[in-house]
């Protein structure tokens, strides 16, 4: 019964994902011969043609990945391989927590292996074909190994502690578990740009000169008081460009991709930085953290309830009332439900993007520079400027450049 329900949810999500991809592809094709006027103003015909090709190729690839993911998940749940693998780990220490943590990591890494060939294909075939790939096989393998070591190094102690909490704190363990995980996430936000990001990228302070003066003046004017603006060598892996904001409070910092610095004029970069500062000044980071905290607390309460039940673990062939399998099943199944809420999260995120854009427009005294930056970035990244509204509802955390330009100038 529970297994049937899970199978139904897997099928339902896959059907929705494939339908959205087909819907979006037909929307792109519908405009392929002649772009709408607002799009034609952003992209010349040749670039638009390449953007159409890139969008369609990505959608085909996504459909394959979605299908394989669903098949792997269904097979993992129905075949009995997960409880079969659990037995030897459990035998190591029937009352222990460390072996449960090892089991979760081993299972996660095994399931992650399936995605490796697709990840490779995406980078060295798809991105390569459209001129975006800058990575090498050697760098790609090194990235994967480092990522794996990080997952084990950080994940093992954290999972061990989470699984051990029941013994130390009793029925209220999930509240402590939530506090532990959320506290750890806050710590990670601070440590990420200092300890983890440098493992993968080189970060250098933006060189002295006109651009730096201009950006620091903007930061001063908007009350952001940036100490440094860092440039990251994103070009080592991809020609795609980006800017982002990490940390909070004293630990906040702004990181610009070197590709972005190369592609944009100083005035445009100033507008992009003003947008990032806008996220900070409008309080988007604490708001998103609060939402995430509420969701995680709810998730922990649900895990605790499922772990107490006699039916949940048993439905998938696991011994009942053992926490490690409940965590695993929750991790595998929760996406089947949260997928349907992604339009809500994207709606909030897009609202924040509009707010940050409006902040940037005021900070640089007019929409011109940000509009120019958005147009240039849409061309350089071959953005799909005509997504189907249902598709963008499920998949776009940002409004399209056309929508942003309309909001900026309207």
Q: What is the dihedral angle through the alpha carbons of 135, 139, 144, 146, rounded to the nearest 10 degrees? A: -130
Task: Please identify, using beta-carbon distances, which residue of 101 and 356 lies nearer to Zn ion.
Answer: 356
Active site residue 69: no
Site string for Zn ion, 331-370 (x = CB under 5 A): ----------------------x--x--------------
Q: Compute the C-alpha angle 123/126/130, nearest 5°.
A: 110
Q: Which of 270, 276, 353, 405 is catalytic?
A: 276
Token pair of 306 as six digits? 């499922």
- Given its phi and psi angles, is residue 407 left (phi above 0), alpha (psi -120 to 50 degrees) or beta? alpha
| Cα gap 97→177, rounded to integer Å | 14
Instruction: Supply the minimum distance, in Å, between the C-beta of residue 284 and Zn ion.
Output: 8
**Closest to 376 measured CA to CA, from 397, 337, 398, 405:** 405
Query: Which helix (H) or strand (E) is 403 found in, with range?
Result: helix 401-409
Task: Please identify, using beta-carbon distances, which residue of 90 and 240 lies nearer to Zn ion.
Answer: 240
| Cα gap 327→100, rounded to integer Å | 10
Task: Taking the CA atoms of 148, 149, 154 and 157 in sequence, report the sign of the dihedral they define.
Answer: positive
> Which residues have a Cβ under 8 Å from the Cβ of 169 and sit 6 or more positions away?
176
Instruction: Supply the minimum distance, in Å, between the C-beta of residue 216 and Zn ion.
Output: 20
Instruction: Supply the minimum distance, in Å, between the C-beta of residue 271 and Zn ion.
Output: 12
| Cα gap 401→121, rounded to integer Å | 28
Instruction: Supply the minimum distance, in Å, between the C-beta of residue 403 and Zn ion.
Output: 13
Q: How many residues bind Zn ion (CB under 5 A)?
A: 2
Task: Please identify, using beta-carbon distances, which residue of 10 and 277 lies nearer to Zn ion.
Answer: 277
Instruction: Supply the minimum distance, in Å, between the C-beta of residue 279 and Zn ion.
Output: 6
| Cα gap 291→90, rounded to integer Å | 35
Task: Please identify, using beta-carbon distances, which residue of 162 and 356 lies nearer to Zn ion.
Answer: 356
Please, which residues bridge with residue 245 across strands?
254
Instruction: Supply the minimum distance, in Å, between the C-beta of residue 41 and Zn ion.
Output: 22
Task: Please identify, using beta-carbon distances, which residue of 270 and 353 lies nearer to Zn ion.
Answer: 353
Active site residue 143: no
The footprint of Zn ion on residues 165-194 (CB under 5 A) is: none
Q: Which of 357, 362, 403, 405 is catalytic?
A: 357
Task: Please identify, using beta-carbon distances, which residue of 278 and 325 lies nearer to Zn ion.
Answer: 278
- DSSP per residue over 188-248, as a string? HHHHIIIIIHHHH--EEEPPSSHHHHHHHHHHHHTT---S-EEEE-GGGTBS---EEEE--
The footprint of Zn ion on residues 65-124 (CB under 5 A) is: none
Tell me which residues touch Zn ion (CB under 5 A).
Answer: 353, 356
Kindly list the catalytic residues. Answer: 276, 357
């Amino acid at each position: 019964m529970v297994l049937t329900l899970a199978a139904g949810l897997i099928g339902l999500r896959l059907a929705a994902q494939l339908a959205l991809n087909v819907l979006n592809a037909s929307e792109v094709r519908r405009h392929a011969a002649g772009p709408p006027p607002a799009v034609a103003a952003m992209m010349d015909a040749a670039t638009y043609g390449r953007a159409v090709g890139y969008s369609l190729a990505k959608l085909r690839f996504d459909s394959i990945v979605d299908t394989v993911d669903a098949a792997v998940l269904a097979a993992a749940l129905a075949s009995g391989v997960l409880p079969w693998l659990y037995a030897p780990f459990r035998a190591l220490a029937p009352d222990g927590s460390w072996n449960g943590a090892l089991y979760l990591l081993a299972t996660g890494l095994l399931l992650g292996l399936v995605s490796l060939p697709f990840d490779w294909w995406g980078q060295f075939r798809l991105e390569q074909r459209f001129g975006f790939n800058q990575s090498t096989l050697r760098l790609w393998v090194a990235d994967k190994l480092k990522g794996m070591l990080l997952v084990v190094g950080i994940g093992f102690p954290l999972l061990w502690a989470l699984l051990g909490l029941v013994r130390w704190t009793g029925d209220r363990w999930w509240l402590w578990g939530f506090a532990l995980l959320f506290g750890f996430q806050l710590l990670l936000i601070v440590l990420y740009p200092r300890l983890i990001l440098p493992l993968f990228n080189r970060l250098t302070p933006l060189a002295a000169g006109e651009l730096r003066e201009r950006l620091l003046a903007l930061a001063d004017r908007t009350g952001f008081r940036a100490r440094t603006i860092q440039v990251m060598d994103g070009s080592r892996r991809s020609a795609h460009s980006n800017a982002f904001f990490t940390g909070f409070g004293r630990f906040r910092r702004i990181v610009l991709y070197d590709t972005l610095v190369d592609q944009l004029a100083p005035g445009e970069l100033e507008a992009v930085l003003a947008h990032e500062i806008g996220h900070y000044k409008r309080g988007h980071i604490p708001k998103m953290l609060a939402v995430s905290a509420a969701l995680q607390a709810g998730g922990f309460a649900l895990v605790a309830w499922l772990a107490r039940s006699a039916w949940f673990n048993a439905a998938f062939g696991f011994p009942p009332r053992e926490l490690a399998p409940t965590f695993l099943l929750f991790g595998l199944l929760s996406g089947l439900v949260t997928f349907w809420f992604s339009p809500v999260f994207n709606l909030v995120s897009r609202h924040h993007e509009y707010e940050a854009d409006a902040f940037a427009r005021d900070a640089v005294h007019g929409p011109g520079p940000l509009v120019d930056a958005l147009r240039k970035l849409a061309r350089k990244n071959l953005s799909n400027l005509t997504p189907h509204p249902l598709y963008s509802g499920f998949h776009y955390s940002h409004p399209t450049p056309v929508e942003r330009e309309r909001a900026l100038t309207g």
